[in-house]
């Protein structure tokens, strides 16, 4: 069972927490119906995203066998058979899409769009430079939309912009980490890395990081935000965002991190503290608005 569980990559489920942003910033945490829809969306995304990971491993199994780390994956190492992987993919994907369909609202279209996006990514689009990272970011944006439009909450344009820039930052940082780790063999393991260089990725990362900070800061002081949340104090959550961004850059450039964003976020104590501090202060300000 453990190889099958590893094939599902449960540590990546932390990414699906994006679906709860609507509950948080839409003040809907006390609405049982919307909370239920958000939880359903989270579980459905866990199932569907795991099916996508299995599909990726099936497609990339031969290439993974030549990778210093990925060769230990269940399919590449041979601990899980192709037949078992295909059955697992179909069961998880079917169950996730069924949950999305039963959830109603905008959820079905968002989930089917996510599947179509990842099929295109796995079967060719991941080799298109820059577009590959934008497609990864699009998957995160669909999670945000599932937790906002999907449960009847209008998403803030600032929220969408910040989410897009943050996921582009993480995506380009991931490519930078892969390029650094693989060096001359980078194109062998991931073809698109042939078109990237460390200076180019550093520029893209800098632009995205600056965009995240500016967009989030403007969101906290926007008149619409202050009117919606009843507080102008959300700006005080910005230091946690700054610390988290700078810490991630430190891990990327000095500690060989950045290759697995989901693991970095839950494994590094500084990032955990920054995330917990941001979430705690944000919740306190939203529950106890002070102008």
Contacts of 165 by beta carbon, 8 Å cutoff, 6+ apart: 208, 211, 212, 215
The model's pTM: 0.88
Give the span between the Cα atoms of 210 and 262, in whole angstroms: 21
Q: Is the dihedral of CA 49, 53, 54, 58 positive or negative?
A: positive
Q: Where are the domains of the chain?
A: 1-155, 156-291
CATH topology of domain 1-155: Tetracycline Repressor; domain 2 (1.10.357)
**Cβ contact 216:162 at 8 Å:** yes
Nearest to 47 by CA among 114, 124, 106: 114
Q: In this structure, how many other beta carbons lie within 10 angstroms of the beta carbon of residue 224?
A: 11
Question: What pLDDT tens digit does each residue of the chain (291 aa) get?
Answer: 788 888 888 888 988 999 998 888 888 888 898 898 899 899 999 999 999 999 988 888 877 777 767 777 887 787 888 898 899 999 999 999 998 888 655 678 899 999 999 999 988 898 999 999 999 999 999 999 988 888 888 888 888 999 999 999 999 999 999 888 776 555 456 788 889 999 999 999 999 999 999 999 999 999 999 998 999 999 999 999 999 999 999 999 988 887 788 888 888 999 999 999 999 999 999 988 876
**Cβ contact 247:271 at 8 Å:** yes
Give the span between the Cα atoms of 206 and 249, in whole angstroms: 10
């Amino acid at each position: 069972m453990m190889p099958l569980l590893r094939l599902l990559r449960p540590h990546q489920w932390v990414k699906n927490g994006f679906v709860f942003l609507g509950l948080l910033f839409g003040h809907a945490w006390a609405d049982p119906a919307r909370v239920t829809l958000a939880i359903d969306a989270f579980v459905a995304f866990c199932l569907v995203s795991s099916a996508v990971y299995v599909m990726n491993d099936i497609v990339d199994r031969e290439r993974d066998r030549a990778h210093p780390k990925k060769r230990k994956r269940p399919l590449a190492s041979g601990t899980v058979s192709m037949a078992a992987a295909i059955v697992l993919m179909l069961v998880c994907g079917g169950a996730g899409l069924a949950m999305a369909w039963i959830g109603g609202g905008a959820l079905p279209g968002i989930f089917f769009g996510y599947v179509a996006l990842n099929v295109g990514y796995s079967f060719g689009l991941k080799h298109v430079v820059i577009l590959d990272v934008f497609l990864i970011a699009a998957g995160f944006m669909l999670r945000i939309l599932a937790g906002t439009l999907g449960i009847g909450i209008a998403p803030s344009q600032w929220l969408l912009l910040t989410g897009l820039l943050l996921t582009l930052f993480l995506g380009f940082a991931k490519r930078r980490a892969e390029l650094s780790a693989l060096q001359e063999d980078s194109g062998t393991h991931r073809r698109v890395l042939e078109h990237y260089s460390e200076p180019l990725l550093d520029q893209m990362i800098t632009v995205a990081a600056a965009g995240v900070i500016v967009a989030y800061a403007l969101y906290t002081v926007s008149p619409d935000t202050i009117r919606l949340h009843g507080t102008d104090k959300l700006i005080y959550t910005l230091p946690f965002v700054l610390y988290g961004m700078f810490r991630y850059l430190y891990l990327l450039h000095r500690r060989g991190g950045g290759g697995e964003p989901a693991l970095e976020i839950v494994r590094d104590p500084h990032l955990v503290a920054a995330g917990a501090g941001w979430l705690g202060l944000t919740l306190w300000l939203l529950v106890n608005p002070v102008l």
